[in-house]
Amino acid sequence: MEEREEARQDRAVFHRMSVAGRNFAFDVGTSAGFQLDDLASEVLQTFAKLPREAALERLSNRGPEVDETVREVQSLLLGGFFQPDVAATDPPALTPEDPRELHLAITYRCTLRCRYCYAHPQEAGGRDVETDMSEKVIDAAFEWAANHFAKDANKLNVWTGATGESLLSPHALERVQQQAERYAAAMNKSITTVVHTTNLTLADKPEIRSCLADKDSWWRVSIDGPQHINDAMRRFPDGKGSYEVVASALSDLWTNPDLPDRYTGAATITGEHPNVTDIFLHLHKMGFRCIRMRPIRMRHNESFAINERTIGAIKQGYSDFVEFLLQQDDDTLLGYLKPIWHYQDYFGRFMLRALSPQKGLYRCGAGKWIAGVDTNGDIYPCGPMIGILESRMGSVFTGVSEEGQRLYREDLLVTRKPVCKECWARYLCGGGCYVSAFLVNQRADLPDPYDCELMQHLIELAIYMGARLRHERSSILPELDSQPKN
């Protein structure tokens, strides 16, 4: 980013920015971005700083080009853009069309000791937790979902692997699948095929290989990119890296051409390895047709965290990634965008939000249409928050507390959070990741400042890239619009 300028006067509310030499104005109230030439930028700023009549007087008698630009800016103002924002303070109602997500931590056992993992029982704040999720808890989780959490929804999505290596508990996976099918039939609702998270280190076992090759199963594979990056973080207990085992397992599995469509490559971007382009290209070359890259969530004192020392490199890594993409021809660009054109990828999420402007009042569905359940049956706002005791909301045996419901549905509205409600990016960001907020500040309503800085950067990049696609690569967006987004 080369420049940032904000206007908060009651005549216009926008964020002005310059990315790669191009000027943009982001309308806070509608979340719409506009690419401006220098003259349009000057005219808009004049209307922002002065009352309408004074602005017109200052801009008059400067020639036909200025007159035409003034008319265009006035048209935007009359069309409802760059107006004072009327902040919503009431939580939006969930509708039956809004799917619910159930994140299940079926085991704390794991074959790896990843450096950034905070989900081991011994690292979970002294919690007394069961190592594996029992059938009793699995059944109770689906019973709670049927009667409460997803009672009024048409669709329930189920994810396993919120903690540990799910393939260490194959019987639990089978039980989850059975209960998901039973739930769908009994409630006459739609349910996605359960998505399991795995590190693939057990894929050489025949029974596991059979499970992985099931054409009705969906898998998210944890792998952080090239071998030197993956093995720096994702290690076995003896310190050896896991890359070769995972790459070999994928190579064997994908001799069946039907399987790659059911596998997502999931990478964690860390402060030690911020080269987003290299990580993406490696996962793409490995054959993943769906890729999910997300920044690490970790306390600032770790060398690989996103902190004061590393935030600049992470931002530059994403800037370089965007420029790399835009340097490709149309066919190559489309092939690179498709794997990340969904809400699970961190940058993909902001691209989709920037191209379909709307007011997002929450960061995500955590605690509202997403729930995480640990091996004891305790309910948390989402899978990554499992184990953060301050965020516990209740139990599948007793239900969710009113306090927990109020916090995530009402108190965490971005328009109610003091640190967020004046931020220009609030409606595309939604208020910062609650996991990072708890890890860094021990409270959900106070975002991690480096999380905020990174999101603002990515939103600016998304606006820039969206404008480049619309104006210069008109064949790309219609192709991407036909893709599933979740």
Range of the domain at 68: 3-86
| Cα 164 to Cα 105: distance, rounded to the nearest angstrom | 8
Q: What is the pLDDT of residue 193?
A: 67
Read off the DSSP letter of residue 193. Answer: P
Give just the sign of the alpha carbon dihedral 84, 25, 346, 287: positive
DSSP-H helix ranges across 328-394: 330-337, 346-355
Give just the sign of the alpha carbon dihedral 437, 459, 282, 197: positive
The radius of gyration of the chain from alpha carbons, rounded to an integer in Å, stands at 24
Q: What is the pLDDT of residue 90?
A: 87
Residue showing tokens 């003896």 = 238
Q: What is the pLDDT of residue 245?
A: 97
Instruction: Indicate whether 429 belongs to any domain.
Output: no
Write the CB contacts of 473 (distance below 8 Å, at least 6 apart in sequence): 330, 333
- Tell me the CB-side half-sphere exposure of residue 57, using CA atoms within 13 A: 5
| Cα 250 to Cα 262: distance, rounded to the nearest angstrom | 12
CA angle 462, 463, 465 (to 5 degrees): 65
Q: How far apart are the first and last CA of the chain?
A: 29
What are 219's strand-pairing partners? 196, 263
Instruction: Indicate whether 191 belongs to any domain.
Output: no
Number of domains in the chain: 1
Closest CA to 247 of 236, 231, 262: 231
Helix (H, G, I), strand (E, B) or coil at 236: coil
Say if residues 100 and 153 touch (Cβ distance below 8 Å).
yes
Q: What is the pLDDT of residue 49?
A: 84
Q: What is the pLDDT of residue 127?
A: 64
Instruction: Indicate whether 109 belongs to any domain.
Output: no
Q: What is the pLDDT of residue 58?
A: 92
Instruction: Indicate whether 218 belongs to any domain.
Output: no
Positions of the chain with pLDDT under 50 = 1-12, 121-125
Instruction: Indicate whether 20 belongs to any domain.
Output: yes
Whole-prediction pTM: 0.93
Residue 391 tokens read as: 């965020």
Q: What is the pLDDT of residue 119?
A: 59
